[in-house]
Amino acid sequence: MRAYISSLCFLLIVSMKLEASEPQDIVIVVNKNNPIEQVTHRQLIDMYMGKYLAFPNGHMAITLDYRKEHPLRSAFFKALTGRNISQINAYWSRVKFSGKASPPQAYPSTEAIIDKVITTPSAIAYLPASAVTDELKVVYRFVQ
Amino acid sequence: MLILSLSTFAFSVVYAKIYYHHVFDTELKRLESTVRQISQTVSSTASIAAYLEDKDLANEVVNGLVSNDIILSAALTNKQTVLAKSILYKDQGALPFYLPNPFILQENIGIIYVVPNTLYIEQNARDSAFSSVQTLLVVVLPMLLLFAVLALFLISRPLGHLSKQLASVLPGSAQRIYVDPLNDQNEIGKIGKDINVMLANTETLFEQERSLRVEVEKLEKRFRLMFERSSSPTVLVKEHGEVILVNDAAKDLLAGMGIDSEERFPENLGQFCKTPDILYTFTENSIKLKQVMQSEFEFTNPLTLSSVWLSLIILNTKSDGQWYFQVFLADITARKTMLNQLSHRAQRDSLTSLYNRYGAELTLMEWIDSETQFSLLLIDLDKFKPVNDIYGHNAGDEVLKQIAKRLAQLVPNTELVSRWGGDEFVVAIKDVNIVKVNHMAQQVLDEINTSITYEKNGHRIELNVSASIGIAHFPMHADSLKGLVECADVAMYSVKKTSKNNFTIYST
């Protein structure tokens, strides 16, 4: 029985790993109360790359990101800018030096991001499509 | 040698100039491409600065650019505003580099303007080109110098030596030039040998020429001798009368007439010619028609004042495009005199020396031809036959001689007196009226009636004759000589039949 459970667990882990490594849709979410219904790809770039810290309607926006080691980050920036993560990191290290713009706040996991979006009306973040809940509003969807 | 040095120098200068420009251009292009590369290098940072409108970052980019020697100034703009520019920046001469959006590559979001430091770049290029040329000249000049020196010793000197030798060679002589054994196998040696072959040919040609000239001289001498010793006086004249050659016979002839043989032809002869106009026309025609012409002219020898007859033959010859006239002279005075004497004899009566009938007829024919009016007196002696019969023929001859003498004295030279035949005389007088004719007829009768003294065997005998004279006038009575004589004859017979010792004019 124990052997059966452990083998089941192993299968689960393997299946989870397989699921994680597969390409998956990434969506942009905001607080449910945010009046914004959708954003454009371009507006997303400008917000995430530090050009504008506001929604298209002029309200301030707080961009949320994952920590450097998070696997979703690389996929997101690739989808957003067409560049790999090392180029994005180089960009930020150059921009931070002059102090004009600063990178988004970094969080360790999707759960932490979801909590932050739910509690912050001006937050904007990206999630795997599968992680979206009813308390979030999807404003953009990257199609793989 | 000078030309060689000069051309070497000129080549160096031209080549250095071309090389200088080449290096200068290459250097200029290289520096411009460097400017491009530097601008390319900063373009990603510049894109970010333009994207974020980050003036600090933009300044950093611009300062970085300007810190290069080859960039004078720079500016960075995004679509609306100038984000940064260096102090000296001006639009003029700025090279634009378009900046893409760092995340959306198709979109241009700004421009970097870079002004190259043209002065610096050019100075740099110039320095670089100059040092290249210096290096080149350091290599090339000694090489050219070496080449020039080698050319001097291997080509110019030996050629000069050959030319000096050649200048001292007398053409046609047996002299040859010396070919250095060192040059035996090269072009200089070949030239020397060729020159010697040419000299040998020249010598042969000269030899032939010389022997030919000797031949020609020999021939010329013979011809000259023939011409000069010829007994026929000959003068060679150029087209305009210049006398070129006069042989000995001609010299003698001309000298005998007091003519300088150097004088121009035909004036030299014309001055003493009795008919110079005819002589000049004759020579002119001969020269014009280029034909052989012959004629005879009478001259007065100024030394002896005697008459000289010369025969002239003019022969035209063309030689080397120039016309020459050979004038053959011949003194024909003796022949002419003889002919005159013969003619005189034929026309004269040997007894009385008056014109005979033939001579008289010639003169009268001339008068008739020239339509000269004249009266003809036909004189027939009466009682002449008895003189012959009684006193002999000598007495008769004496009568005729005496009467002829008296008539010749009575009638002027310009008129005609002749013995017509036997005891008949004819006197003709030009341009006379009837009174004068009658007077003349009377005078003739008087002369004839005068007694003639004849000596025979120591006895003086007085002989008396008379005459019947018939007169006819040309052209009143007849227009031909025959007719005129017939008229005179008719008139004379009418006298003879009636009174005798009288005269009458022909009447129809």
* The pLDDT of residue B208: 92
Q: Is B107 on the interface with A (CB under 8 A)?
A: no
Give residue B129's pLDDT.
Answer: 82
Look at B54 and A98 and tell me if their CB atoms are within 8 Å.
yes
What is the number of domains present in chain A? Answer: 1
pLDDT in tens, B309-324: 888 898 888 888 888 8
Q: According to the 3-state scheme, what is the secondary structure of B90-146?
A: CCCCCEEEEEECCCCCCCEEEEEEEEECHHHHHHHHHHHHHHHHHHHHHHHHHHHHH
What's the ipTM? 0.74
Residue A11 lies in a domain: no
On whether the CB atoms of residues A61 and A47 are closer than 8 A, the answer is yes
Give the Cβ contact number of residue B457 at 10 Å: 5
Q: How many CA atoms lie less than 13 Å away from A123 in the CB half-sphere? A: 23
Residue B39 pLDDT > 70: yes
- What residues of A are in contact with residue B57 (Cβ under 8 Å)? 94-95, 98, 100
Q: What is the mean pLDDT of residues B363-367?
A: 90
For residue A50, being part of any structural domain is answered with yes
Tell me the per-residue pLDDT of B152-203, one tens digit each, with 9 for 90 and over: 888 888 888 888 888 888 877 888 888 888 877 888 888 888 888 988 998 9
Q: Concatenated DSSP letters for A19-47?
A: HHHS---EEEEEETT-------HHHHHHH
Q: Does A94 touch chain B (CB under 8 A)?
A: yes
**Cα distance between the two ends of chain A:** 41
Contact B51 A100 (CB under 8 A): no
Q: How far is A1 from chain B (nearest CA, A)?
A: 55
pLDDT band at A90 (very low <50, low <70, confident <90, very high): confident
Question: What is the Cα–Cα distance from B413 to B426, expressed in whole angstroms?
Answer: 14
- At CA A67, angle to CA A66 and CA A68, rounded to 5? 120
Measure the CA–CA gap between B450 and B443, rounded to whole angstroms: 11
- Structure confidence by residue, pLDDT tens digits, A93-104: 888 776 777 888
Residue in the structure block whose two tokens are 């009447």: B507
pLDDT over 50 at A18, yes or no: no
Q: Residue A12: is its pLDDT beyond 60?
A: no
Q: Please report whether residue A13 resides in a domain.
A: no
Give the mean pLDDT of B212-217. Answer: 93
Instruction: Determine the pLDDT at residue A6.
Output: 54
> CB contact, 8 Å: B64 with chain A?
no
Q: Is residue A72 part of a domain?
A: yes
pLDDT on residue B405? 92
Check pLDDT > 90 for residue B15: no
How much is the pLDDT for A125? 92
Segment A110-130 shows an average pLDDT of: 90
- What tokens appear for B463 in the block? 């002989």
* Residue A5 domain flag: no
Task: Give the pLDDT confidence score for residue A19 in this predicted structure.
Answer: 43
- Asked if A50 has any chain B CB less than 8 Å from its own CB, the reply is yes
**B479 pLDDT more than 90:** no
**Distance of alpha carbon B246 from alpha carbon B479, whole angstroms:** 55
Q: What is the pLDDT of residue A82?
A: 85
Q: Are B254 and B272 in contact (CB under 8 A)?
A: no
- Nearest-CA distance from B25 to chain A in Å? 39
Kindly state the average pLDDT of the residues B423-436.
88
Stretch A38-62: mean pLDDT, rounded?
Answer: 86
Please give the residue range of the domain that contains residue A129: 23-142
The answer, yes or no, to whether residue B427 has pLDDT greater than 90, is yes
Q: Collect all residues of chain A within an 8 Å Cβ-Cβ radius of residue B60.
A: 98
**B246 pLDDT more than 60:** yes
DSSP label of B152: I
Mean pLDDT: which of A43-47, B135-139, B212-216 is highest?
B212-216
Distance in angstroms (rounded) separating the CA atoms of residues B16 and B129 = 10
CB count, 10 Å around CB of B32? Answer: 16
Chain B: closest CA distance from residue A98 (Å): 6
pLDDT at B380 (0 to 100): 92
Instruction: Give residue-wise pLDDT tens across range B276-322.
Output: 888 888 888 888 888 888 888 989 888 888 888 888 898 888 888 88
B121-139 per-position pLDDT tens digit = 888 888 888 888 888 888 8
Strands B293-300 and A26-31: unpaired
- Say whether pLDDT at B426 is over 90: yes
Mean pLDDT value across chain B = 86
CB contacts < 8 Å between A and B, how many? 35
Check which CATH number belongs to the domain holding A87 and give it: 3.40.190.10
User: What chain A residue is nearest to B56 in terms of C-alpha separation?
Assistant: A98
What is the reported pLDDT for B83? Answer: 85
What share of chain A in percent tops pLDDT 90? Answer: 14
Q: Distance (Å) from the C-alpha of residue A121 to the closest C-alpha of chain B? A: 26
In this complex, the residue of B45, B51, B60 whose CB is nearest that of residue A51 is: B51
Ordered domains of chain B (ranges, CATH): 2-123 (3.30.450), 234-336 (3.30.450.20), 348-505 (3.30.70.270)
